[in-house]
Structure formats: structure tokens, C-alpha cells
Structure 1
Amino acid sequence: MSSGGTFDALRGQLHEAATAFADGPGALEGLLRGIVDDVERAVSEPLEIFPVCHHSPASAIAMARRLREKQPKAVYLELCEDMAPLLTELRNCRLPVAVQSFASEVEGFPADWSPLSVVAPVTEASAEYQAIAYALDTPGVELVLVDRSSDHVFQWETPRDSGTPGEPPADEDTALHGDAVGVDIGDLRPRFAELEEHLLRHGRVRHWSEWWHQYVEVPLGDGDHDTYRQVMLLIGSLFRRLAPGDPHKVRVDEDRERYMWTRMREHLAATGTDPADCLYVCGAFHAASRVAEFGVHGSDSFTIGPPSGTKWRHGLIPSSHGAIEAQFGLAPGSVSIAATEWAKNVRRTGVRPYRLEGQAGTKPKKKALPAPVPAPTAVPADRLTGFLRRPPALDPLDEAELLGWSVDIVRAARRSGYLASTADAIAVFETSILLAGMRDRAKPTPYDFQDAAVTCIEKDTVPGRRDVGRLVEIMMGGDRVGQVGYDALPPLARDVHDRLAPLNLRLQQRGVQRALLDIAAQPELERCSDVLWMLRRLLPHGAARPVMGDRSLGERAIQESWDLALGTHQRSLIELGYEGVSIEQVLEQRLRRAAYDPQATAAGVLEAVEDAILYLRSSRLADELGTRALEVLATERSVDGAPEVLRRVRRLLAHYRTAEPALPGWIESFVKTGYAHYCTRLPTAFTDDDATVRQVAAMLGFLFGMEGLALSLGCDRAQLELALAQCHPADPARTALLWAAQTHLGTLTRSTLRERCDDLLGNPLALPAYPRYLSGFLHALEPVPALADFVVEAVSNAFARLPDPLLLPWLPTLIGTLRAGGAELAPLIVREAGRLFPARLTALDSWVPPWRLPQQTPPAPPTAHTDGGVALLAAHPTTCDALADLLGCDGTWATTEPVSGVALLTEHPGTAVALEALLAVG
């Protein structure tokens, strides 16, 4: 392990420290000496290990410097190996973006994990981006991703670790990654909670990001390569050895290290590359590994398991500083501060960073200088001893920088509504220096400045929508949001942009844009309208929102207005591209998936049928899904979806009757099956506590509304009559609903129904339940809309007959029942009341309700006919013959002499009865 005892001096110092601070060189010495052993083992490895921390400016500066010095021929990067083909597309994006692996249909994993998503965010101030840019733009350099694949991420991690059941952040920008699993390089944070608390308390900082900035970023910003590498290895070993012994986490960490070293040895053996010409970029936590497979001469005992059957899609999605902070548990604003620190270090150190050629937002590359000849690799000297002995360097106060910060924050605060002044700028300046001194710092950090600004400006109120802390974050660099360029988009997203090009909008721009479509004047915009309606169906709310215009069966708008935010929801649009090559294909797949889901309902499948007609205009798909709806309805054992089934079937029937020459076979079968199904379920539903009155009314609405079509298709009305005869509800609302159904069938007359309601009003014991009876009558308007006048009569009688001591306590219950039980049916009562009641107040005193008017006796049917009828028949024998054929009467004209009408009717009584019935029907 040791090569000449490089770290013997450091071991001696740690032995003395352990003896002085402990009761003997026991466990503490073993821990400290083990850390030194880890460092020595890593720096002695022939294949150079470069430990990094995720989104660390110090790591990025050290990486850029080392790449220009060493010029490696192969770069091994700790990143999911199946993401390699996407890295070349980074040059078509504006950072930060994230490389994503996505699977909407899973195989080999629990179904509730779907969809699976893995993201690896990339920022400019990250060591991995420097390595990627160097490898892709330097001829003869190979970039090899060696970490486990996206499939193995879910194979090795439980839902608790991977975060699949978690909710995505509510904020728009911090939710750019959704609920994806984050994969990063350099998860360098103490896993021992007590250790992190100890470091924060003694470091006089608020959170881990501030501790790292103060005690690692700043000291290592100017350090040489060997010092940087040994310090990072020391920190990684310390956190690794003090991590809790969670068997699952330990196994996953070690398996990742075995996986990576196995892949590196395979590549070295296949290509014959000299390990001295390679660079292994990994997190400092994994660099201090102790597995047997460690190193180019490690054992080959690890076997990589096969992937599952899940089909993965890969692409780039936009990211942001806020999204990275939210996903990896960093302090708000820390990534923005790191970006500012990165730009400052580049200017201060003179290091020329690597940037992908053609990268969005970058300047053209200058002429490359000749690459320096790499120095021969030697065993690094011990730099840890001097680094640990050296007191912290006091960074002199940069008064100009701090003064500029103070002026800028006051200016930003005034724009946001704060009453800030020059005095506040001076207070922020002085308080920043005071806080830094209290925390043993010679120079205020951005976190000290943020605390001072909040203390001096914000006070106790926030007049605007941003607090001072957020204003400082924006001033320090802001929450930069990346963008995936057109060339890096999947085919579906590019197709959407091409098809919406006639709108002349910058669709990749973030924010809301208004699109006006005058389809009548420009018919070609109708295709854009089709795309927008499908996007509204597929994308989250707000991506495409119609302001004016509607798309429903039988209607087509001639003008539309849309609010579009496709740039803001670019991630969702890109993920659609993982499901298909066009939005029509994706929508068809989703409709089929919803229809054939084991938990699908008849109402849900009918919705899919309607969407297939509205958005895809596909009769083939509509017929297929309609047949599926018929199958689902036949197997349903509840009536929960009856209202939705009724609403959608009515709409589909109206569409087919007006737009098609004949009804499709599936909807005829659906009506026939639904008639028999609801007749069978009706007696149970009337007494089932789980079925609501609205659902039972919807069943009756289906039976009464579709009765004509069902009878023409061969259904028997006796089935409905028998079903109603078997209904015996006890609930007042259902009882009233049953009375309404019997009235519709003719088994209960209006007068009998009126008498029953009068009996309820006259029975003091029944008065508390009267609002529930009215609720049942209100729901009965769905199947029997002709009862609207009777419902008005029932309510009016209650107001007229009940005394105030009974009416006033009962009135709130009545209003609440009507509002909660049938708000959508109340307009029927209002219209009917407007028809029955007088239009003017002055006519109310003399107004008599129609139901109190004396009922007129209908005229008696004629018992005899005059001779004029016979003469009329004789004058038109052809008409008489046709009428006789229609009635099925056979015979000839007996005589041409006039015959009295009474004698004729007496001679042919059957014809007389038929004529009387025909006249009554007419």
C-alpha cells in the first residue's frame, strides 16, 4: 500500500493527537490512521483518481487545471453508462440541463413505481461538465461512463431510497425534475447527523452549504492539484468511516464501486490503454473505497446482473439551480452562489475552462494553444501535513465588492416595494463585516451578506412577492433555468414546434404567450388548433390553456385564443417524446391504456371514445374503444358511474345521429346492454346505502331516455315495470324518486301523487323529512323532466301551508338540501317557476296557481256519426280503401246507395274502434 512511507509523518502526528485527546491510542487512532491509509491507497493507484464534489467551483477549477496538465486519453466518469449517447447533445442546450432516463411502461418493477425517471443535472460550474467538454472536443480522447445503468438504479434501491413515492415540489422552477431520482457525482455530505450538527455548530454556520463554502471551497480555491486531491480524499474517507452502518446503503455504495472498477478494467483490457493515460472522475466518497475490486489490479469477483425488461428512453430536459437544490437537499441559493464563485475563480486564477463548441450562450472559441507535454507521473508527496498545520489564510476584505453588493441589494429592494435608503446600504455593509467577525471570518461570505440584508432591510414585513433573502439569491446569479435546444429535442417535440410555426411565436421562450387563431380567415390554422387541443389533453395544466374557443362534439370554433407556456413546460413536452414519435400516437396509446386498464370503468372508457372522436377523428379507434366500454359495463357491479355514463351516452348519441348516416353497432349494443343491466341493478340500488340518489336517478334517466331506442332493438318494457315493482325504498328521497318513476310509467296518477304530498304536509311527524322528499323530486327531473311543474307546486304548497314557526327553521335545511343534492337541476325549477308565476308584482295578489284551478272535464268520445261521414267516404273511395288496408280490414263496397253512418258503424264495429283509436292518437 505504502510507497516509501509517504504519509508516515502524518501518521505520527495523528498517533500523538489520539493519545493526547483520548484515553489511549484505541478506536480514535484506528479511525484516524485508517483515513490516512485510504488517502495513501487512492493516491498510489496507477490509474489516477480525481475526487470531486457535485457542483463545487473548487472541483471544477481543479478539474480544468488538471485536464490541461495531464491531457488524458481516456476519461472514466461516474455517470449512468446508458446516458452516454446523450452527452453530445449538450452543445445544443443552454445550461443547466439534466440528462434523463425515462420509462413509462415498467417490466420487472412494481406497477405503482411507473413512470421511472432518472436525472443527472449538469451545470457549467461542475467538474463533470469540464470532463465532458474536454473529452468531446479533444480529438483522440474517449469518454467512458462507468456507473451503473438507470435500470440498475431501481434494481438496487428501494422506493424509500429512490424517492419514487415523494411528491414533486409545488414551485414551478423547483419542479423541473418532477419526482425523478437524482444521480450526481460527489454526494459529499456527512451521513452521520451528529457529525454534521457538530460541524455546523462549531463552524458558526446555518447549513451544510455554508460550511462547505467556508471551510472547503475557499481554502481549496488556490490549492495545487496534489493538495486538492488529498484533502478531498481525506474528507471522503472521514465521512465514509463515520457513516451509519445501514446495511442497504453500504451494500449499494460498495456495489457501485465494484461496478465502476469492473467496467474500467474491461475497457482497459479491450483497448490496451495505459492506465497512466487515464483519469477516473468520481465522488470523493467513492474514491476512498476499500472494496476488493478497487484499482486496476483488483479482483474480478463482481458479476453485473442483467437489466430488466423495461424499455428506457433517454433525453435532455431543462433544469435550474432551484431544481438541483430541491432534489439534492441543498440550501436555497447555494447553487447560484456556486455559479458566482465559479466565475470569480476563473477570473482570479486565470484558468481557462473547457466549454463545448457551439454551446448555447458561449462565445466562439479562440485559437487553441498547443497542449503542454504531460509530466511523468510520480508518487505525490505528502501535502496533507502542511495543509492541516497551516492556519487558515485570511482573505483580505474586498471593500469594493461588498459595497457593490450593498448598493445593489438596496436598489433591488426598492424595486420590490421596500422603503430602503442609502442608510440601509451602509447598515448592510457594516453588519456584514460585524457578522463575519463574530464568525471568525476576515471577509464576509455571501451568506453573511444575506443575513445582514435580511436584518437591515426586511424588518417584519414583505411588501412584495419576494423577500430580501430571495432578492440576494437573484442578485448573486439568480435561479438560472436551462433550455434544451431544438436540435436536441426528441422527434415529437420538434414536430410540435414545426406544426405550430404558423403561429409565429417563440415557443421555446419561458413564460406565457398569447396566440390568436382566426380560423375563418386562415383555414390553415385549423391544423394548429388540432395540435393545441391535443397538447391541452396531454400536457400539465397551464402549458396550453384556451382563453376563447371550445371543442365539443358537433361544434367547431371559427376563432380561438390560447395562452401558451411550452417553454416553461419543456420537460413535459420532452417526456411525451419518450412515448412516441407524434402526439397522435401518444394520445392513442394513452387512450388505449386507460380503456384496457384493469380498473377502468364504463364512464372512463366512454370518455376515451369521446376524446378519440374530438382529437383524433378516428372512427376506427372510437369503435374499438366503444366495444371495450360495452365489455366493461357488462361486468360492473356498482352504479357509481351511472351519472357520467348517462351524460356521455347522450352526447355520443346526439353526435352520431347528426354526423353519421347510421348509429354504429357498438352504441346500439351498449344501449341494449345498458337497459338490461340497469333494470337488473335497479331494485338493489334503491335500497343500497352505498348508492346515492343522484346515481339512482341517473339509472332511471338512462332507462327512460334510451327506452325508445332500446325497445326498437328488441328490449322488453316489462323488464322495467317488473324492476320498479320490486323496489321498496325506505329513504324519503328514494321514495319520492320511485313515485316520480311510477308517474312516468302511468302506474301512479298526478292526482294520487298530489294527495301523497298533501298528506306529508299535514303530518307533523313527516315535516322534518319533507326537504328530503323534495330532494328526491328534484333528482327525478333527470329521468322525468315533465315533473318540473309538480316540483314547483310542491315547494309552493310548503311555503303556503306551513306556519312561520315551522317554516323558518325548516327553510335552511330545504335550501341546503336543494343546493347540495341537485344544483345542476335547479335551473329547470327556476325556468318552470318563471313560466307559472306572474311576471309583475302587482299581479301576484290576483294570481291563482294553475294547480288550484278547476279541472276541465274532457269531452266525451263520439258515440255516433252523421250521414255526412258516409257521404265523405263514398266521395273518396281511394282514401277509404287505403285507410282500410292500413287498419288491416278486408272487404268490398256493398252498395252505392247512401247508408246511414250509424248503420255502417254498427255493421263494422272493429273498423269503428280502430278509427276512434287513430283519431285519439292524432
Structure 2
Amino acid sequence: MSSPFHPLRQQLLGAAEALGDGPAALPEILAGIVDDVDHALREPLEIFPVCHHSPASALAMLRRLREKQPKVIYLELCEDLQPLLTELRNCRLPVALQAFASELEGFPKESAPLSVIAPITEASAEYQAISYALDTPGVELVLVDRSTDHVFQWQPDPSSPAGTEEPEDDLHGDAVGVEIGDLRPRFAELEEHLLHHGRVRHWSEWWDQYVEQPLAGADHDTYRQVMVLVGSLFRRLAPHDTSRYASDEDRERYMWTRIRAHLAATGTDPADGLYVCGAFHAASRLPEVGSAPGTPDFTITPRTATTWLYGLIPSSHSAIEAQFGLAPGSVSIAATTWQKQLVKQRLTPFRLDGQKGGKKKATKALPLPSAATGPVTDHLTGYLAGPPRLDGLDEEELRGWCVDIVRLARRNGYLASTADAIAVFETSILLAGMRGRARPTPYDFQDAAVTCIEKDAVPGRRDVRRLCEILLGGDRIGQVGYDALPPLARDVYDRLAPLGLNLDQRSIQRALLDLAADPELAACSRLLWMLRYLLPDQAVRPIMGSRRLGEKHIQESWDLDLGRHQRAIIELGYEGVTVEQVLEQRLRRDAWDPKATAAVALKAVENSMLFLQSPRLTDELGNRAVELLSAERTVDEAPVVLRRIRRLLGHYRATTPVLPSWCERFVTSGYAHYCTLLPTAFVDEDTGVRQVGAMLGFLFSMESLALSLGCDRTQLEIAVRQCHPEAPAKIALLWAARNQLGDLSLADLRDRVDALLANPLVVPAFPQYVSGFVQALDPVPRLAPFVVETLSKAFGRLPDPVLLPWLPKLITTLKSQAAELVPVLTREAGRTFPGTLAAIDSWTPPWLARRPSPAGPGAGPGSLSPATGPVGAFLATHPATTDAVSTLLGCAGQWTEPTAPTSPESSAPAVLLTTYPATATAVATLISA
């Protein structure tokens, strides 16, 4: 039987021979694409080739469905997504079908979570087929493409050579996009050639000019032949040695195996079916392709044990453009073209009953199907012989565009006028003529508007190209209806209903919560704080109010933008049934992550107390924090650990009679842990001063609690004696620690600082000592007067070449590492220095004031004489304790003989203070210093 395409085949072979200097494979390619068309049209099951989000494909599908009225439609879409299709009734398009998996079995754990999305728009052949099948009695819709599990089974291993052959241009965020009918060239050379000779800038414009517009009004046979021809051309020119090409061939084998199985199981006549697939797949010549009973089947591997969750998420034109690599605004232009062609051709599209975002569909029975089509005839020769039949210039449409873009530009700050509208009109026609087009396209109009209006500046947030996209359709964003939401998302909407807000609204809404007047809103407040933790920052944002341990607010205000972040709420539903369950899983995941630290676990503990109020979970996370702290070999996060455990201990002491057991274990384990690491941290160059100071802060501030729980203070003393730092800042920290332990008196500490200032070789490094003393304010807060004294001496004695370069560094260091210590220094300085300018002249620094010298009895306030009575006799009999305290305070003196009390009403304490005023004077001097 001769092929109707034989004359075309001979004509193309003759053209190939005439091009003697062309590629050697040219005759094979030209003849092969004709054979592919002939082979596809001979298939008993009608193959309907499409391009995703193509108005021409949607129009052709609409006309074909009304004409043929097939009883079964096989659609190229992941087969496990079929239950979601009925939920499209509750949505406003565009939306995307999604499969999601967070707990993986059979896939690398580090690749979690896995996600697959398939966007659906109204201006697509797939949606027209879905709407027809779901709303027409007796019609069956069968999804035949590989399952989402197989999508990732067939993904090349990134570590293998095959996994690096092609860039991952099919990712949409973290989700793999299912490309239905993708006709984009697979290599840059072909695309560059087409764009250059087509006088267009990008692939979307080439497709619109040479495929979309000519095929918008073409008959069914012409449409099919042209689409298979284009798919065959790209298929034969694509590299065959890539993993993506092999995956496409496996998809074709998979789909035809499913089709043959369904035909055999149901006994459906192939003539009553329709197979909707991408034009690339329609031109397949694989042995496994075809509906004939003897065609070999493809061995389909079983799915893994991964549990997949399914749902609908909002999509948008811009997201679809990013997924398919299309030019910005191309999907919006396609939607506008779809609506225009519907009016022009007087067609009524199929729309699911109850579909949101459109007019109510009138119930109208379909006409009787037309008679079976006749024999296949050649429509390609006439189509390829002449230029594309494009519509002529529509002056009214172009004039409306020009007027509207000028109006929109003026609203956005441009100094546009009527003259600019005229210039855009004429420039659009000029550009279309230069590019060989009889009618200016939206892309010509965009270029003309940018040239005539934008000029050299953009006064607002939007440039002219973006304004053109808004004018021609804008970035339409879909929405999932309440009935199609997962249980968690519906629960969120129900629990926030008392706020009285329209949460579907795509704008920021202000929620005011008066918790004192309406206590029922406390549940809404608690839910909002959990959503604040789980969702992006802009979805739920507090304006007034906070959530901290021990705080309770009576009023809160929130900015809610849940309408534009509906996808994030839906994806939470893939992790659990309630927000509380998802939050608990997140906290556990953070605490048990392989890279988790004690600081991370303590943060999880605090969050569990703030949001969940679950003692069981809190104790579990606290025990995990103890395990992580004991296993750590570095002290990099010691400041964070100290800050968080102090906050938790303070909260427990204020709210509970006893500390939880995990808190006690954390303190005892941390005390032993930091004592063990202290000598190493002092000498380790990679450990900063702030980290060592935090370790000392933990040891000294938790010392009393640790000792009461059974720790040994000797361990800390031995650890401090084993420290031998070399860095000046750490040396200062060590001196402060020794002072806290009683091993270094304050007088000796002053002597050491004075010796440093007197040594010219040490003076350049003295600022580092000061930084160490500042960091010591956290572990040894009683050194605040001494630090003020040291800073004052540094400012007074350091030479300008040393002091002036050090000041900026001191300020930045205090800001970044010790911001919380600056108020301590400020308050201490306020107590030390005079408060008025006049008092400065007569003010003497306390550390320069002369101390009183000891004298005999009755010699005045500087004499040291024992008191009379029982207290005096006891002190005189056992003077060792008093001598030790006096030496520690730096005010040692000589004992004299006791005298009798001077008045009978003098009590022992009074006599002690009056007879020995030197002790009180020394203590007062020490405090004031």
C-alpha cells in the first residue's frame, strides 16, 4: 500500500540531493520525519500530539473532542495522580498536582523530601480532556505515564558520569516538574539556528509565530501532521546518547504497556479511544510502541516502599514559565490568545462543574459524533509550501494596547503621553515588518513600548516590560478550594475562623487580638505563633506581642498573608494531620539530626515549652541535650548553651517547685564536661575568648547548684590550675577565674595590671588584656568596679599610638561579642564617676585614695583594736580566721590588747564596730573601689 506522503518524501529527498554540501545525514532526517508522520497516523488508537500550555493544542483538542467524542482518553500524566483530578472542581486555575514524600524507603535519605508537580491551566489540551472525561457520562480517563515513584527511580545518579550529562533545567524549586508535551529543543545549536533565522529573541516567541498562530485555526488533520512533524524533527536532532533521551524512551514503553493492558482488560475498541501525549512521544518508532496485541510489553519495575502523599497546590503563570524555561509573560500571553480565539471561533470550552474562577457552565448536551474520518491524506505539502497564514493587522486591538500601556505607565511614575502611544503604535508595526510579520505580536508590542516609554530610567518598582505583561494578562495565580485542602490546612482555617478574616484573600490582613476581653482568641494566638515558627516569615508576622518564657500578653496584632502562602500550608499537611503534630516532628528532627548540637537541642526544648506544653516531649528533648553536650568535643557554642540553659533554669525556678531531672543532669554533666575541656580551651588558638568566658560563666554561675547535686569543686580548682594560656585576653580571663576561686586577691590583681602598664614591652598588648577582663564580667560579675578601674587606667596611661587604633576595635568587639555586658560597665561607671561637671575637679578616683594606716588603741579610725566582751575574747583567742579575711581584703593590721567597754549599753556587735572601725572602713573602701 503506497503512502499518501510518498510525493512529499520524494520532494524532500530531492531537496536534500540539491544541497550537496549539506550534512550527510540530511536525506535520512528529512525522509525519516515524513515516515514518522505516516507511522503515527496509521496507529489504530488515535494519537493526539500536544504541547503543554499551548492554546493551539487546546483549541484543536476542544474541536476534536466535540467531533469524535471518544469513550476512553489515555493521558500522559503520572498514573498515581488520577485521584486528584476530581478535586480540580474546587480550585481556581492554575494549580498543580503534587506528590510529596519526606520519609524515604529505597532512595538516598539525604535526598528527602521528594516532590513532583504537574501544573494545570485552562488554556491546555490536558485540562480540556480532563474536563470532558470527568463531566461526560460513559467516558473513562486513564493516566498512563510512569508513577511519581518511577520518576525518581529513573533519575540518573548525580555521582555517576551519566548523571552529569545535562543540566537540571526541569526543577521547579525543590520539586521535579512533569513536562507534558515539552517541545523545547534539547540542545543549544538548533535553538540558536531557529531564533536567528526566525528573527526572534527566544523560543517562546518562535513557537508563537511559527506554530501557535498558524495552527490556531487549522483543521484536525493538518494540526496532527504538523505537530508530529515538529516532534519528529526534534526527536531526530536530539542527542541519543544522553540519559534523558533514554528516560523518554522508557516512558514511551511504559505508557504503551499500560494502554495495551487497559484495552485488553476492558475490551475497548482502539477506534473509540484517544491517546494524548507530547509531540515528542507521538513520533516514537520503538518496537514496544503501538496498540497491536502482539506488541512486546515493557517490564515495569515495582515501586519502592516510600509512602507518597498527594494534594493540590497553587501555581502561577510565572512558576510555569520558570519550570519549562519559557520567556517571562509567555504563559499569560498564551492565556490571552486562548480567550481571543474562543471568541473568534465561537467555541465553548469544557469546564469542570463547580470550577472556580470562571462563568457558570450552561448544561448543554454534546452533538452526535461525526462519521469516522476517511483515509489519511497529505496536508503537510500545502502547509509547508506556503508562508504561514497569519491574521492581518488588527488596528483596533493594537490601538487599545497602546492607549492602555500609556495609562498604566503614567500610574507607575512614567512621563508618558499621547505622543508615546502613537510612537508605540507605529514602532510595533515597523518591528513586525522588519521581522517578516504581517501582524504585530505581543512581543513586538513589548519591544516597542520599552523603546518609546522606558527610555533610560525606571521611576517605580515595575519596568515597562513588566507593565506589558500585566496588560496582556498578568501573572495569574491559582487557588485551592477548601474542600480540596488536606486535613491540616482545613484545620488551620477552621481554628482561625474566630478572627473574622477572609483568609483566602490575596492581600495582607491585620488581625487584632484582645486576649483580656475575648479569652477565646488565646487559641488563635497559640496557633499563629506555631504557624510563625513553621511558615515563611511573610506568611504570619507579629506586629505587637512576643512569645517568650514567662511572658503573657493581653493584646496582640498580626499581619496575615495566608492567601499568597497557601502552598506552604498545604505542604505542612503532607507532614501531619495537625499543626501540633508537624511541630513535634520538626522539633524531634532538629534534635536528632546528625549535625545537631546541645544548643540546637536546648532551642528545641524551649520551643516545645512555648508552643506545645508537653512535659513528655520536653523531657525527651532535654535528655537529648544532655547526650549531645556530653558528646561534644568543642566549645564553639558555649555562649549559646549558657544563655539558653540560664533562661530555662530561671523559668523552672519561677514556675515549678523542683527542677526537672534532665536539668539537673545537664548541670552536673556540663560542670564535669567544661571542667575537662577548660585547660584545652585556654591554650587552643581556634577557641575564642568569648567561648572560654562562657565556659567559666557556666562553671561559676551553676557552681552552687552543681555542688548541691554532688559535683566536686576540687575538679574546677584543678582544671584552673592546669590552664596555661599564652594569649593576653585569655590570661586576663584566667586571672579573673583565680580571683573568683580565692587563689588571687584583688590587690594582687591590681599589682599585676599596674606592672603591665609599667612595662613598655607589654603596653601594645594591654588592650587585649582589657578585652579579656571585659569578657570576665559574665563569669565574675563582681569584677565590674575593677574593670572600670582598668579601663580608666588604660585611657589615662596608654600612649595615643596604642590607644587610638585600639578604640574602634574595642567598640566593635563589645558590640559583637559582649553587647550584653556594656550596660553592666555603664552602670558601674555611673556609680564610680561623679555625676556633675563641677565635682570632677575635686574628685579623686577610689583606687588612688590613700588607705588608712594601722595605729594603736584609740588612735582614730585607722587603728585596729579588738572588741571587748565575748565576741572580742573569741576573736582574740582565735585570730587566724580574722587574719585570713583581712589579708584577702588587702587590709592586714596588728592586734592590740583588748580594753573594757566604755558604756554598759554597748552590745558586742556595737563594741566590735566602734572599737575596730578599720574593718568597716576597709570593706567600704573595697566596695566603693
SS of the residue 1:825 aligns to: helix
Q: How far apart, in 1, do the equivalents of 2:823 and 2:148 lie?
A: 56
Residue equivalent to 1:516: 512
Letter in 1 for 2:19: F
User: Unpaired runs of 5+ in structure 1?
Assistant: 170-174, 871-899, 902-915
The reply on whether 1:77 has 2:75 as its aligned counterpart is: yes
SS of the residue 2:519 aligns to: coil
**Displacement after TM superposition at 1:537 (Å):** 0.7
**Displacement after TM superposition at 1:299 (Å):** 3.0
**Displacement after TM superposition at 1:166 (Å):** 10
Residue equivalent to 1:158: 156
Cα deviation, 1:255-306, whole Å, max 9, x if unaligned, reads 1111111111111111111111111110001111121110112633421111
The reply on whether 1:228 has 2:223 as its aligned counterpart is: yes
Name which of 372, 383, 387 aligns with 1:387.
383
Q: How far apart, in 2, do the equivalents of 1:809 and 1:627 lie?
A: 47
Matches for 1:309-708 after TM superposition, within 5 Å:
309-708=305-704
Matches for 1:113-124 after TM superposition, within 5 Å:
113-124=111-122
**Displacement after TM superposition at 1:815 (Å):** 3.3
Q: Decide whether the 8 Å contact of 1:102 with 1:117 is kept in 2.
A: yes
Cα deviation, 1:848-900, whole Å, max 9, x if unaligned, reads 11222234579858465269999xxxxxxxxxxxxxxxxxxxxxxxxxxxxx9
Q: How far apart, in 1, do the equivalents of 2:169 and 2:370 lie?
A: 47
Name which of 697, 707, 712 aligns with 1:711.
707
Matches for 1:141-220 after TM superposition, within 5 Å:
141-158=139-156, 178-220=173-215
Q: How far apart, in 1, do the equivalents of 2:461 and 2:603 lie?
A: 40
Q: How far apart, in 1, do the equivalents of 2:333 and 2:183 lie?
A: 18
Cα deviation, 1:215-246, whole Å, max 9, x if unaligned, reads 00010011000100000000000001001233
Residue equivalent to 1:285: 280
**Displacement after TM superposition at 1:26 (Å):** 5.1
Say if 1:716 and 1:26 are closer, same or farther in 2 by CA, change over 3 A: closer
Cα deviation, 1:147-182, whole Å, max 9, x if unaligned, reads 11111111111376999x99999xxxxx9x532111
SS of the residue 2:838 aligns to: helix
- Give the TM-score of the pair, scaled to structure 2: 0.90
Residue equivalent to 2:32: 34
Cα deviation, 1:898-921, whole Å, max 9, x if unaligned, reads xx99xxxxxxxxxxxxxx9xx999
Q: Decide whether the 8 Å contact of 1:547 with 1:561 is kept in 2.
A: yes
Letter in 2 for 1:144: V
SS of the residue 1:496 aligns to: helix
Residue equivalent to 1:913: none
Q: Decide whether the 8 Å contact of 1:609 with 1:625 is kept in 2.
A: yes
Letter in 1 for 2:31: R
* Bigger mean CA offset, 506-515 vs 251-260: 506-515
**Displacement after TM superposition at 1:811 (Å):** 3.2
Letter in 2 for 1:520: A
Q: How far apart, in 1, do the equivalents of 2:588 and 2:390 lie?
A: 67
**Displacement after TM superposition at 1:377 (Å):** 4.4
Q: Decide whether the 8 Å contact of 2:50 with 2:279 is kept in 1.
A: yes
Residue equivalent to 2:54: 56
Say if 1:783 and 1:24 are closer, same or farther in 2 by CA, change over 3 A: closer
Say if 1:868 and 1:366 are closer, same or farther in 2 by CA, change over 3 A: closer
Residue equivalent to 1:266: 261
Q: Decide whether the 8 Å contact of 2:54 with 2:123 is kept in 1.
A: yes
Residue equivalent to 1:89: 87
Q: How far apart, in 2, do the equivalents of 1:215 and 1:424 lie?
A: 30
SS of the residue 1:854 aligns to: coil
Q: How far apart, in 1, do the equivalents of 2:672 and 2:776 lie?
A: 21
**Displacement after TM superposition at 1:798 (Å):** 1.1
Letter in 1 for 2:727: D
* Bigger mean CA offset, 490-499 vs 362-371: 362-371
Q: How far apart, in 1, do the equivalents of 2:582 and 2:344 lie?
A: 51
Cα deviation, 1:578-610, whole Å, max 9, x if unaligned, reads 010000000011111111222211111111111
The reply on whether 1:12 has 2:16 as its aligned counterpart is: no
SS of the residue 1:812 aligns to: helix
Q: How far apart, in 2, do the equivalents of 1:25 and 1:182 lie?
A: 35
Letter in 1 for 2:625: A
Q: How far apart, in 1, do the equivalents of 2:504 and 2:649 lie?
A: 41
Letter in 1 for 2:117: V
Letter in 2 for 1:840: T
Q: Decide whether the 8 Å contact of 2:169 with 2:325 is kept in 1.
A: no
Q: How far apart, in 2, do the equivalents of 1:267 and 1:861 lie?
A: 112
**Displacement after TM superposition at 1:24 (Å):** 8.8
Matches for 1:711-790 after TM superposition, within 5 Å:
711-790=707-786
- Give the TM-score of the pair, scaled to structure 1: 0.91
The reply on whether 1:249 has 2:244 as its aligned counterpart is: yes
Letter in 2 for 1:570: Q
Q: How far apart, in 1, do the equivalents of 2:225 and 2:168 lie?
A: 39
Residue equivalent to 2:884: none
SS of the residue 1:556 aligns to: coil
Q: How far apart, in 1, do the equivalents of 2:450 and 2:758 lie?
A: 72
Q: Decide whether the 8 Å contact of 1:167 with 1:179 is kept in 2.
A: no
Cα deviation, 1:125-153, whole Å, max 9, x if unaligned, reads 11111111111111111111111111111
Letter in 2 for 1:120: A
Residue equivalent to 2:895: none
SS of the residue 2:550 aligns to: coil
Residue equivalent to 1:100: 98
Say if 1:799 and 1:712 are closer, same or farther in 2 by CA, change over 3 A: same
Q: Decide whether the 8 Å contact of 1:19 with 1:25 is kept in 2.
A: no
**Displacement after TM superposition at 1:374 (Å):** 3.7
**Displacement after TM superposition at 1:392 (Å):** 2.5
The reply on whether 1:47 has 2:49 as its aligned counterpart is: no
User: Unpaired runs of 5+ in structure 2?
Assistant: 855-861, 875-899, 902-915, 924-929
Q: How far apart, in 2, do the equivalents of 1:146 and 1:788 lie?
A: 76
Q: How far apart, in 1, do the equivalents of 2:213 and 2:155 lie?
A: 35
Say if 1:151 and 1:370 are closer, same or farther in 2 by CA, change over 3 A: closer
Say if 1:335 and 1:24 are closer, same or farther in 2 by CA, change over 3 A: closer
Cα deviation, 1:12-69, whole Å, max 9, x if unaligned, reads 1111111112359952111111111111111110111100001100000000111111
Letter in 1 for 2:380: L
SS of the residue 1:841 aligns to: coil
Q: Decide whether the 8 Å contact of 1:80 with 1:145 is kept in 2.
A: yes
Q: How far apart, in 2, do the equivalents of 1:866 and 1:580 lie?
A: 75
* Bigger mean CA offset, 17-26 vs 326-335: 17-26
Q: Decide whether the 8 Å contact of 1:125 with 1:339 is kept in 2.
A: yes
Runs of 4+ in 1 over 4 A off after TM superposition: 23-26, 159-163, 165-169, 856-864, 866-870
Q: Decide whether the 8 Å contact of 2:764 with 2:802 is kept in 1.
A: no
**Displacement after TM superposition at 1:308 (Å):** 1.9
Say if 1:203 and 1:98 are closer, same or farther in 2 by CA, change over 3 A: same
**Displacement after TM superposition at 1:796 (Å):** 0.4
Name which of 278, 298, 302 aligns with 2:298.
302
Letter in 1 for 2:869: H
Q: How far apart, in 2, do the equivalents of 1:787 and 1:352 lie?
A: 85
Q: How far apart, in 2, do the equivalents of 1:542 and 1:216 lie?
A: 41
Q: Decide whether the 8 Å contact of 2:90 with 2:355 is kept in 1.
A: yes
Q: Decide whether the 8 Å contact of 1:293 with 1:302 is kept in 2.
A: yes
Say if 1:96 and 1:23 are closer, same or farther in 2 by CA, change over 3 A: same
Q: How far apart, in 2, do the equivalents of 1:330 and 1:813 lie?
A: 51
